[in-house]
């Protein structure tokens, strides 16, 4: 199981995602460019010592470079535009959960490449969860389904 962030804008979200990935035993990928240096103080501050708990995030210089590393894994995009929910989907242990940019989501080419597009059900009138929070919710559900303890 891996968590991938597509061109993240906010270093604190990357730090929080590092913590979530470490807590759920998932690897992590960051697809650049980012809106900040990946080794920034803000990322380290929020990640705390969780950055040392697991392997550091793999940085990919762009979307194409990231795609070259997928192998047989399925790419699961979390998006507010999906019809299917994470509760209805059957996760596999080698899935990669992909999050779009905080400011713009994921572009069409990312939507088109995804093997599945899922959403997290939220209250009527709410727009979306924070990207790191959504990643943690999706990782928890994926781990629950795959029997990870």
> What's the pLDDT score for residue 42?
54
Give per-residue pLDDT as tens, 73-95: 999 999 999 999 999 999 999 99
Q: Is the pLDDT of residue 49 over 70?
A: no
pTM: 0.90
- Residue 56's Cβ-side half-sphere holds a number of Cα atoms within 13 Å equal to 6
Residues with Cβ within 8 Å of residue 137, at least 6 apart in sequence = 86, 120, 129
Domains of the chain and any CATH numbers: 2-145 (3.40.1280.10)
The residue behind tokens 């781990």 is 143
Strands (E), the chain: 2-6, 27-31, 58-60, 75-78, 84-85, 96-99, 116-119
The residue behind tokens 């572009």 is 107
Q: Is the pLDDT of residue 47 over 80?
A: no
| Cα separation, 65 vs 58, whole angstroms | 11
> What's the pLDDT score for residue 50?
53
How large is the average pLDDT for residues 56-63? 89
Helix (H, G, I), strand (E, B) or coil at 68: coil
| Cα separation, 14 vs 55, whole angstroms | 14
How large is the average pLDDT for residues 18-26? 91
Per cent of the chain over pLDDT 70 is 87
């Amino acid at each position: 199981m891996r968590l991938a962030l597509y061109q993240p804008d906010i270093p604190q979200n990357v730090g929080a995602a590092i913590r979530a990935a470490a807590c759920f035993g998932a690897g992590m990928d960051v697809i650049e460019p980012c809106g900040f240096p990946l080794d920034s103080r803000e990322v380290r501050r929020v990640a705390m010592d969780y950055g040392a708990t697991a392997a550091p995030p793999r940085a990919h210089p762009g979307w194409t470079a990231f795609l070259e590393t997928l192998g047989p894994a399925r790419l699961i995009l979390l998006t507010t535009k999906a019809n299917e929910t994470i509760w209805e989907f059957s996760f596999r242990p080698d899935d990669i959960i992909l999050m779009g940019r905080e400011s713009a989501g994921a572009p069409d080419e990312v939507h088109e490449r995804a093997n599945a597009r899922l959403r997290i059900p939220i209250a009527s009138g709410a727009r979306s969860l924070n990207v790191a929070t959504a990643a943690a919710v999706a990782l928890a559900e994926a781990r629950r389904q795959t029997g990870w303890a």
